Chain A
Amino acid sequence: MTVINLPEPEQLAARILRGERAAVASGLNLLDNKRAAARDRSARLLASLSAEQALPKGHLIGVTGPPGAGKSSLVAAMIREWRLAGTTVGVLAVDPSSRPEMGGGALLGDRIRIKNSSHDEGLFIRSLANRNQLGGVATEVWPMSWLMLACFDIVLIETVGVGQTEIDIAEIGDTICYVAQPASGDTIQYLKSGIIEIPDIFAVNKCDLGAPARKTAAEISRSAPRQDRREAWDYPVCLVSATMNTGIKAFHEHFARHRQFLANTGLLGKLRSRHQSAWVIRLLKEEFGTFGLELAGGRELIGQRLSENGVNQFAEYEQLRKHILSRFMSVNPPSSPTKRS
């Protein structure tokens, strides 16, 4: 028998809301835990956290871009700005896992790039492996980002270095930033594919390299969406250098400006509730499969329930889980021990 004591979700939620680091850590461990008992408690934890928390609080930022573009270095530079202003930051940094046949292990290397050497209680970094899930982020990231949002002003997610098909981050973040590598084929591919629509802010890093960076910035500016995807947003393209710390201030200010824009236009709430519905369905499907979704009325019906006004999706998620579990029990009742004798 394992003797891991799972925490009481309601108490844990209270401690997390007070900003206790140890509680944040054990909450994240719980959300990551795949055992049945833990899934139950995870749902309760999320429900009690969201009962206390207004939906449009904080700022969820996604940072994506090709491998080695300088995402982590740039995140580090932004964190310096936020911490100088006294803003607290939680980071979820996702690194790739090796293939399951190769053991599925991972080297979680973003942390060392993001963290400066000094001790800082206002910064919390959790590294995650993507565990071979498609999409640049793992399923765990979404609930974890919500937990962190309960106690940090800003929650920042760094995806694995992505190609052009992996866009899940668009369904988590309020603000998505794409970090481009100067003169790289990846960026060109990215521009050609449709997903240039996704980022709100573009950074061309390594501008210390000169001409190639300027050229890439010009290319992005030409192709960036102008078809008013989100009304009056201007999709800035910034030339920055994380290592030389140039252009960071201006780049950094776009994030607060975008957050303000979303709030002013009423988009923030809508965006988040849309994202949450998508993830509730994804989590349910991961845990119970298509059959499980059918037992709860099917994907469409669930979608409708979740998008009703004023619904707390986390509470709803917990309800749906309970419902599916009870249906599973009745569809396939466990044999009673007496029968076996």
Chain B
Amino acid sequence: MVAAQKKRDQPWLMRTYSGHSSAKASNTLYRTNLAKGQTGLSVAFDLPTQTGYDADSPLARGEVGKVGVPISSIEDMDQLFDQMPLDQMNTSMTINATAPWLLSLYIGLAQRRGIDATKLSGTTQNDIIKEYLSRGTYIFPPGPSMRLIADTINYTVKHVPKWNPTNICSYHLQEAGATPVQELAYALCTAMAVLDRVKASGEIAPEAFPQVVERISFFVNAGIRFVEECCKLRAFGEMWDELTLQRYQVEDPKLRRFRYGVQVNSLGLTEPQPENNVQRIVLEMLAVVLSKGARARAIQLPAWNEALGLPRPWDQQWALRMQQVVAFETDLLEYEDILDGSPVIAAKVRELIEGARREIDQVEAQGGIIAAIESGYIKRELVGSHMNRLRAIESGDLKIIGVNCFQETAESPLTLGADGGIMKTNPAAEREQIERLLAHRQKRNGDEVQAALQGLTDAARSGENVMPSSIRCALAGVTTGEWGDSLRAVFGEFRPPTGIDIAIDSREVLGKKDLVTDLRARVASTGSALGRPLKLLVGKPGLDGHSNGAEQIAVKARDVGFEVVYDGIRLTPPQIAQAAEEEGVHLIGLSILSGSHMELVASVVQELRSRDLADVPVVVGGIIPREDADKLLALGVRAVYTPKDFNLNAIMVDMVDVIREGNGLARLGLPH
């Protein structure tokens, strides 16, 4: 009881990324979270909402209300924020391709409730670049997408001044394997692309441009190497300060401050011994709070059961309490920056800045980040970095406690409950949302809807800012799918490069006798026995954007001698079955992490049967709870792999055996 009265800094905003099943269920969750001391909201939307489809679209099947809240119209938005004062809260929305739409629904709702838009504060993520590179909820090609971002910035700067219209995200790049240097470089390149685009729009007077720069905030990641991560954030601050001064002539240092929110690393959170994730999360948070000069403005933490499935309210509460303990029990907030003056830290910061500068030059030389996305360069770099990480885990060079070392464990009481330690979303959510949507379509005024949509189309064509017409659409009761379809018709759709066309890992060298050479021999001899080289289709059905697993499986399979077809994310079951047929593959590997595996796998299996391909074996990987794995096996799936199967070579051994078995050859089993 010593320092209780001492002056303390204000803590950061504490959030929990959440939303599921329906607007109503999510509203209840938000209100209990706020009652527990959470200070900001962070809305997770479901994938149909993020990709601009209505709940009753065939593409939304199995995905409605699964990984977030479904928002089809202003009525859902109203229910989501029921009994919440929009003018007194700070709402962060993880929304990108459809960001102008969700923001319009929010502004429209405020208008309906008689709240002035200038009072709204919060954030739309609204960064399309990292969608192409990692997150996967893109819709339109880069040109029109960047213009939509510029539209929201131009609109909010004038009409919703407290809003953060875009959050430049490096978080998702680290989740796709990026190194700290890559995170720094690509985030800053993205920021330049956005600011240059806004500047080029000519809607902002030069003297007002510093205000635009000031509105740009970041969403970053912090991994387990927390010293280096802390240095990365200091490096971010320095580089942003320099860039905004030199490139955009922002003279006022206050407007050049690097403002950022954080979600800590989740890629490194494990399925085996999941309780260890708690200490990982706490250490990762240290990186973004330790240094006062580079401290986060807002933090959201994942839960201990991250790799098992969605968190329950209690799991989220535990994550919130971690933040509260650091902020309110420790003495951290009583000090000035405790790292200033450390030569060790300063040297590391220098090193990161130099590395990042080199990579930025590399990207600029290629014509900027959009050109480097279209050419596949950045995606290849990320897939390569992630490959390095997985190879290091396989070899044991990178230690992951409970995964590749110290595996022995007592049974964990955390996962013993009937729910398996994870949240189950309401299975009736999809049906109920569709009913709500159909009823809404009945109630609204059809002429108003048509006129509003026409206004949107006209604006999209003419180049006029789409925000006013989108707000009009929101008020007229237009649906998410209608908004998306109207713009798809004008802008078209885009599929970015997959990045898997990287060189073979040269560390798996010639002549060495190891598991890889053994595997190559197995693949080759099995191919000879069957008459042609083994051919694998890696498929990602549904709206799921988690591509890491599929990419790494595809690259590894190529490295051990498979001929591999991988057409990227977001395919329909008929497209996957058709590719399997046209390509004549020996094995189909599906990767699903969005929780929709039961519906999607059943539907792929069905499509294969209807094409006479029932004999082609199917394996599935991803976030698949144990009981679902059994159900999938009963459906005819030959094997199910989850994050605990971190050894890709072992997966390859097994896949060869699945093919052998399906063709009447003896299994070869694990090599000795």
Contact = CB atoms under 8 A, between A and B. Distances in A.
Interface of A: 1-4, 21-22, 25-26, 28-29, 32-35, 38, 97-98, 101-109, 111-112, 115, 117, 119, 124-127, 129, 131
B253 interface: no
Contact of B567 (A1, A34, A97, A112): A112
Contacts of B554: 107
B663 A4 contact: yes
A101 B561 CA distance: 10
Interface stretch (B389-397, B458-466, B494-502): B494-502
Nearest to B554: A107
Given A25-B581, A25-B582, A29-B584, A108 B563 contact: yes
- The 7 nearest A-B residue pairs measured at CB: A33-B531, A3-B664, A103-B561, A105-B558, A35-B531, A103-B520, A29-B584
Interface residues on B, range: 35 or more
B565 interface: yes
Given A25-B581, A104-B520, A105-B558, 15 more contacts: A2-B665, A32-B532, A33-B531, A98-B559, A103-B504, A103-B524, A103-B559, A105-B523, A105-B560, A106-B563, A107-B554, A112-B495, A112-B567, A119-B575, A119-B578
B561 A105 contact: yes
A103 B560 contact: yes
Nearest to A27: B584
A104 B564 CA distance: 11
B329 interface: no
**Which of B564, B572, B582 neighbours the largest number of chain A CB atoms within 10 Å of its CB?**
B582
A101 B568 contact: no
Interface of B: 493, 495, 498, 500-501, 504, 508, 510, 516, 520, 523-524, 528-533, 554-555, 557-568, 572, 574-575, 578-579, 581-584, 611-612, 663-665
B575 A103 contact: no
A105 B567 contact: no
Nearest to B570: A117
Contacts of A38: 531
A26 to B, nearest CB: 8
B572 to A, nearest CB: 8
A138 B261 CA distance: 53
A106 B564 contact: yes
B523 A103 contact: yes
A126 B501 contact: no
Contact of B583 (A4, A22, A126, A131): A126
A127 B562 contact: no
A7 B490 CA distance: 47
A109 B582 contact: no
A102 B510 contact: yes
B582 A126 contact: yes
Contacts of A127: 563, 565, 583
B498 A105 contact: no
A61 to B, nearest CB: 18
Contacts of A129: 533, 563
Contacts of A28: 584
Contacts of A102: 504, 508, 510, 559
B501 A107 contact: yes
B531 A108 contact: no
Nearest to B560: A103
A308 to B, nearest CB: 33
A219 to B, nearest CB: 23
Contacts of A97: 563
B504 A112 contact: no
Nearest to B580: A25
Contacts of B528: 34
